[in-house]
Chain A
């Protein structure tokens, strides 16, 4: 067995936005690392900072603090020009294939754009050949090569997004809700495709989603985020078998299970809604919605991730 290689390591990643009301804690001291060829699922609800995490670690947003190590190289303070070169190794797939593609470009133009942009191939013939090859890889019939995005359905448009990301032979792809806008049967096609690409090319994925069932199928490790922080992180199977943070438990229990009549576990309803991420006190952020909350939670401080069993991290005063 080859030695495990850490492709990406993030230390204390923090992104604040200044708003008229104060500091918005979008991402607040996130730590994780990913081995090459693995998938990390980042799960959470709207506003938990999962997309900002994805964008910040590709430096599409400048981090407020923290360190990003890609293949051991500290890229945190790289200039735009230097990042540009890095982008051939790290790519992103976006949620909405309807708005992330230029409607005036044909499929040929869309998929060849990153190849030209990074000057990977020179001659026109080579570029065309590579584009058609990419279309084969993502399962887009070659007859669509001169079509425009509006002529295609959501599933095919997402395949274009994937082909564009693959065009530069990246090592790491951040997938930001890649199947959320698609119907279930099409969703399954795209998930299978992503998985097959990972097997064939040894890709590393960061898979951002609100849908726990999708990451269960997909991820090796899962990190659950709440209000800018990771509240639990563990291997995928462990999260589903032994969810430990009260929020993870509630999130799992809220998924409607498509099973009738067989014994289902009782639902655990979460009260209230996510609190505002502006000017947060030094206290557990889940406090107001938590049933297990005790005096020690009220007194603070904000709990940090603690390893409760090998590779299983939880940020909770009670679950320790």
Chain B
């Protein structure tokens, strides 16, 4: 059995605003195995990015309040760490890649300086040595060393994201959080960047939490996948389990909404309605109002994750009835 690098248990994060309490994360439990990549999937507002920020204890406070739960990173609880420990942990142990590489980079520093800066922050070496290391990092992500003297605006979107990856990996963290790293890129460039990330993760024996809304990206890159809805995990398991024997009605809805699985002309089956307002979450299962299988019981209590075999867990009341099957799985 592989060990866990990250274990989140019953995490609750709320944003207390003047207008009311935004319940972003409501009892989230997930774990990432060592040298594994977990894909975290969900729509806008599901709480994916808040989850990522919680792991680094970077939830903006106020208004963000971590109400409860624990986040263990390599056995240490992030929520109990002192500021000094946190600072050491960020960058050295965990690094994060953001969606938009243009806003993540400093426009007035050369990319070499920016990579060197993060190395110097964590290791006491001279600027000269750090800059040499920066050049090596650039080479590693497929950019010519000579471009270390260029500024971010001189790079294309794909190249900028490579620079951001170089910065993230500069201090050899063993855990990487990537928040929609390829969403802003064209498909052919996305394919290049995903391949690069996959290769670097394997070569450096790292683990990764990949946040995305694209199930295609998950299938390409991830070992495991967790599907998130209104601040909770509704289904988690290996990609094989979740893709090929989908259990949760929401996951099924996501697959049905995708145009590329369908033949031309067939109607898409969108999930009806919209994500609930996190200030006014419905009672019971938060997906019940949109769920085609919902029953009376679903509006009463929040379903807990239950084991469906192997590493596959699902939070759905429908499985109280052991003969329940989703339509997707009905004919084999």
Residue numbers of A with Cβ under 8 A of B are 45-46, 153-155, 183-189, 191-192, 195, 210-214, 216-218, 236-237, 250-251, 253-261, 267, 269-270, 273
Contact = CB atoms under 8 A, between A and B. Distances in A.
27 contacts: A155-B274, A184-B43, A184-B254, A185-B254, A185-B257, A186-B43, A186-B270, A187-B257, A187-B270, A188-B258, A188-B268, A192-B270, A217-B265, A254-B187, A254-B188, A256-B214, A256-B216, A256-B219, A257-B216, A258-B219, A260-B219, A260-B240, A261-B240, A267-B191, A269-B195, A270-B191, A273-B156
Contact of B186 (A45, A192, A259): A45
Contacts of B56: none
B268 A217 contact: yes
Contacts of A187: 257, 259, 270
Interface residues of B, number: 46
Q: Among the interface residues B191, B217, B239, B255, which one has the most CB atoms of the partner chain A within 10 A? A: B191
B259 A237 contact: no
Contacts of B213: 183-184
A186 B44 CA distance: 11
B188 A250 contact: yes
A155 B272 CA distance: 12
A213 B219 contact: no
Contacts of A255: 187, 216, 260
Interface in B261-309: 261-262, 264-271, 274
Nearest to B195: A269
Nearest to B190: A254
A273 B192 CA distance: 10
Nearest to B271: A185
B258 A259 contact: no
Contacts of B220: 256-257
Given A185-B254, A269-B192, A258 B268 contact: no
B125 interface: no
B158 interface: yes
A12 B190 CA distance: 32
Contacts of B158: 273
Contacts of A254: 187-188, 190-191
A285 B191 CA distance: 21
A260 B270 contact: no
Given A250-B188, A254-B190, A153 B274 contact: yes
Q: Among the interface residues A189, A216, A217, A267, which one has the most CB atoms of the partner chain B within 10 A? A: A217
B44 A183 contact: yes
Contacts of A154: 44
B151 interface: no
Given A214-B259, A256-B220, A260-B244, 8 more contacts: A188-B257, A188-B258, A188-B270, A217-B260, A254-B188, A258-B260, A260-B240, A269-B188
B218 interface: yes
Interface of B: 43-44, 156-159, 186-192, 194-195, 213-220, 239-240, 243-244, 253-262, 264-271, 274
A191 B259 contact: yes
Given A210-B186, A213-B260, A250-B188, A183 B217 contact: no
Contacts of B190: 254, 256
Nearest to B192: A269
Nearest to A153: B274
A303 to B, nearest CB: 20
A188 B259 contact: yes
Contacts of B216: 255-258
A189 B270 contact: yes
Given A217-B259, A261-B243, A256 B217 contact: yes
A213 B264 contact: no
Nearest to B142: A271
Contacts of A273: 156, 158-159, 189
Contacts of A46: 157, 186
A189 B257 CA distance: 8
Nearest to A261: B240
Contact of A261 (B244, B253, B265, B269): B244
B47 to A, nearest CB: 14
Q: Among the interface residues A217, A236, A256, which one has the most CB atoms of the partner chain B within 10 A? A: A256
Nearest to B256: A188
Contact of A216 (B192, B195, B260): B260
Contact of B218 (A45, A218, A251, A258): A258
Given A45-B187, A155-B274, A261-B244, A192 B267 contact: yes
A240 to B, nearest CB: 9
A258 B264 contact: no
Contacts of B257: 184-185, 187-188
Contacts of B268: 188, 191-192, 217
B187 A210 contact: yes
Nearest to A195: B267
A155 B190 CA distance: 25
A146 to B, nearest CB: 20
A123 B214 CA distance: 48
Contacts of A186: 43, 270, 274
